[in-house]
Structure 1
Amino acid sequence: MNGKQMGRTTTKRISPEEYTKAFEGKEKDALERALDTRKFEIDLYWKRATYFWTFIGATLAGFIAVEAGTSERREMLSVVLSCLGLVFSFAWVLVNRGSKYWQENWENHVDMLEDRETGPLYKITLSRNPTMTAVQRLDHLVTGPSAFSVSKINQIVSLYVCLLWLCLVIYSLPLNFHGTFNWLYCALVVLSVAACAMFFRQGRTYKDGHWHYALIRQSRVKPLDKP
């Protein structure tokens, strides 16, 4: 096998017929695994949200405490904390999008596999009767269910928090163009921007093919010494 063959990707697009054939006779097991993995992804989604809220909340509390204090290093600490908050909140935005990507992947598998096993249960939604009186409309407006995506709202919140931290970074920087240039602040901002850029470059899911190298650990019993 030459170098060119080793470098080829094994990823390819498949047709609807090829998708159906890939799971032929295994639709039930595939559907159950898709549903279980979807539940797992949703659980991880909210655990990740809690993780980022913890760090972002702690950073915001520290920023407020520093801004309210009279420390001689207040300006520097504000820049450090705001840059840290920006990186964490931007990472949260991208993690939310990545989680949503995999959640939709398993939901799409359920859509494709469920018809032969359970019927279109997942694809059919049942809603309230749209014909309502004025009182019922008012009650629906206040407490009624609506077709909002909880995960999308969470993504919007994370984007809002990210933009808020960006504003705090700008607020914290001493933008005095006629004064002494502060290399530390410049390095902190460049480092934060570089980290956010690396999320796009290095943080994407790898979609190309893989060559697998297998190793086996050998193990044996030492033979008895001959008398």
Structure 2
Amino acid sequence: MSAEEEYKKLFGLGNLLDKDKDKTEKALEHALDIRKFEINLYWERAKYFWALIAAAFAGYFAVLSADHMVDKNFNAFVISCVGLVFSLAWYVTNKGSKYWQENWENHVDMLEDSITGPLYKTILYRPNTKNGLSRVLKGPAPHSVSQINQWVSLFTVFIWFSLIFNVLPELEACYPISIKHTAVGIVTSLAIVLVLFGTKSNIVDGHRHLMSKKRTGVIDE
């Protein structure tokens, strides 16, 4: 049995029985609801990271512009490392959100034909106008908003790398390596590794559940 045949069997596709049609309708309804939920979560997470990263940028430049702050370059280095981790987490979160959004969109693609017809897969768009410049500047285009967010988050990651190098002390043979810079760098590197390689969802590979059941009873006095 192919993967497509197994999918159709699981969700009652291709069968004329009422119970199978009900299963398909409920599956489509859930897929649409969860897709909408994932999109809402996507923008809620984006606002969360925007606030954190904006605060980090503000703190970085506020520290560097301070006149009488002791060791302000190190403080700016710490803030830039925090900003780097936030931006990388935003980038990875964007990829994760897109993964699950596409999962439910693919379910809708598979389920909708027998219920609503190919509504989600059918695209209606305006015809090309004669004014090419107006079409390019003001006309709609099939750009992916989530991909734009991913590129912006990746761009922010590289900006933080440049800001980190901007405040690093110069390495010279006559000066020892800064212990505090090294400590912050190690912690930041560990956080980066965890964000990149330690955040895979268990649902992808599957997992088993443990169950415990509480027993109650009444005893005679």
Q: Provide TM-score, normalisation by structure 1.
A: 0.87
Structure with more relative contact order (C-alpha pairs < 8 Å, separation 6 or more):
1
2:96 to 95, 98, 101: 98
Segments of 4+ moved more than 6 angstroms: none
| Residues 1:139 and 2:134 aligned together | yes
1:209 to 203, 206, 209: 206
Do the aligned partners of residues 144 and 165 (structure 1) sit closer, same or farther apart at CA in structure 2, a change above 3 Å counting? same
Counterpart Cα distance in 1 of 2:160 and 2:79: 9
Residue of structure 1 in register with 2:144 after alignment:
149
Residue of structure 1 in register with 2:193 after alignment:
197
Counterpart Cα distance in 2 of 1:211 and 1:52: 32
Distance apart, 1:46 and its partner CA: 0.5
Residue identity opposite 2:76 in structure 1: S
> How much is the aligned-residue C-alpha RMSD, in angstroms?
1.6
Deviations 1:49-90 (A, max 9, x none): 001111111111000100111211201101100100001100
Residue identity opposite 1:142 in structure 2: L
Segments of structure 1 that go 5 or more residues without pairing to the other structure are: 1-12
| Residues 1:40 and 2:40 aligned together | no
* Aligned positions of 1:1-227 closer than 5 A: 15-24=3-12, 25=20, 26-70=23-67, 71-130=69-128, 132-134=129-131, 137-178=132-173, 179-206=175-202, 207-221=204-218, 223=220, 225=221
Q: Identity over the aligned pairs, expressed in percent?
A: 44
Residue identity opposite 2:136 in structure 1: L
Distance apart, 1:32 and its partner CA: 0.5
Distance apart, 1:169 and its partner CA: 0.9
Do the aligned partners of residues 14 and 79 (structure 1) sit closer, same or farther apart at CA in structure 2, a change above 3 Å counting? farther
Aligned residues: 209
Residue of structure 1 in register with 2:15 after alignment:
none
Counterpart Cα distance in 1 of 2:192 and 2:84: 9
Deviations 1:107-133 (A, max 9, x none): 000001110001110001001112x22
Distance apart, 1:105 and its partner CA: 0.3
Residue identity opposite 1:146 in structure 2: A
